[in-house]
Amino acid sequence: MTTATIFVETPAFPPLLTGVPLAPRLDPFEKAVAVAMTEEIDAGTVYYAEDDGAFRTAIVLVPETPLSEAAGALFAVSLGLADALGALAPPEVAVQFDWPATVKVNGAAAGALRMAASTDEPGAVPDWLVIGAELAVTPLPGDPGARPGRTALHEEGCIDITTPALIESWSRHMLVWIHRFVEDGLGPLHAEWRGKCDRIGEEVTEPAPGTFVGLDENGGMLLRSGPETRVIPLTTLLGGG
């Protein structure tokens, strides 16, 4: 089993983002939520675990739109991660998404996102929104054959990627997507994310049985069952999903 170690190098963050390192044993998502609930909120703070074995981060945002729209920032975080991997990984490595929050590398699940907010009311503007992201970097414990459908970056040929480098690259690319989201809405992110989702058009069983036919304007799943199509909101991920 891989043992987490403290980073030798500290990731550099772009302007508007402030990095807060945490011990490997701590959960950045839980830490960010705890701080947002009890202390003065500092938008753009990124908590990250100094864990060489896994990419584990959480960003605190202060939305100015209702939760139903603000939740679309989840796509900015995931697309930032995809772009970071595109910049650091070998060109043959493919990054895909599964709704609402799974990140896949070469078709196998390697990580996921979580989301929490000060409110669960879709029409209310949240005081804060926290989005966490995790991705396995070093090989997972045990025989890969015993865990089909799960992988890590180093198992997919990304042996040169380190966690600090991935955090640094992700923060830059994510900030670009957040800026686009704030300026242009979910549209550009919607199109890019949909192009990386390999389950659209397929039968799914989670979060409910049906055919995954696409996304609504707020990033919710359009799920067709028989003659009916219903929307499963992106906010169903609240609380960690």
116-161 confidence digits (pLDDT tens): 999 999 999 999 999 999 999 999 876 666 667 899 999 999 999 9
Contact 137, 1 (CB under 8 A): no
Domain residue limits at 146: 18-199
The answer to whether residue 24 sits within a structural domain is yes
Q: What is the DSSP string of 108-135?
A: EEEEEEEEEES---TTSPPS-EEEEEEE
Q: CA-to-CA distance for 233 and 215, rounded, in angstroms?
A: 9
**CA atoms within a 13 Å half-sphere pointing along the CA-CB vector of 124:** 9
47 strand-pairing partners: 20, 58
DSSP state of 50: -
Domain assignment of residue 240, yes or no: no
Q: Give the CATH number, domain containing residue 113.
A: 3.30.930.10
Hey, what are 153's tokens?
């970056």
In a domain, 206, yes or no: no
**CA 81, CA 86: separation in Å to the nearest integer?**
9
Q: How many domains are contained in the chain?
A: 1
Domain membership flag for residue 92: yes
Of 73, 49, 76, the closest CA to residue 167 belongs to 49
Among 166, 40, 182, residue whose Cα is nearest residue 103: 166
Strands 203-204 and 18-22: unpaired
Summarize pLDDT for 184-206 with one digit per residue, the tens.
Answer: 999 999 999 999 998 999 999 99
In the predicted model, residues of the chain with pLDDT beneath 50 are 1-4, 240-241
Please state, in angstroms and as integers, the Cα–Cα distance from residue 74 to each residue in 36, 63, 161, following that order: 17, 12, 23
Q: What is the pLDDT of residue 149?
A: 87
Residue 179 lies in a domain: yes
The answer to whether position 63 is within a domain reads yes
In a domain, 8, yes or no: no
Global confidence as pTM = 0.93
- The per-residue pLDDT for 140 is 85
Q: Determine the pLDDT at residue 144.
A: 65
Exposure on the CB side of residue 12, measured as CA atoms within 13 A: 1
Residue pair 59/131 in contact (Cβ under 8 Å)? The answer is: yes
The pLDDT assigned to 2 comes to: 42
Do the domain assignments include residue 119? yes
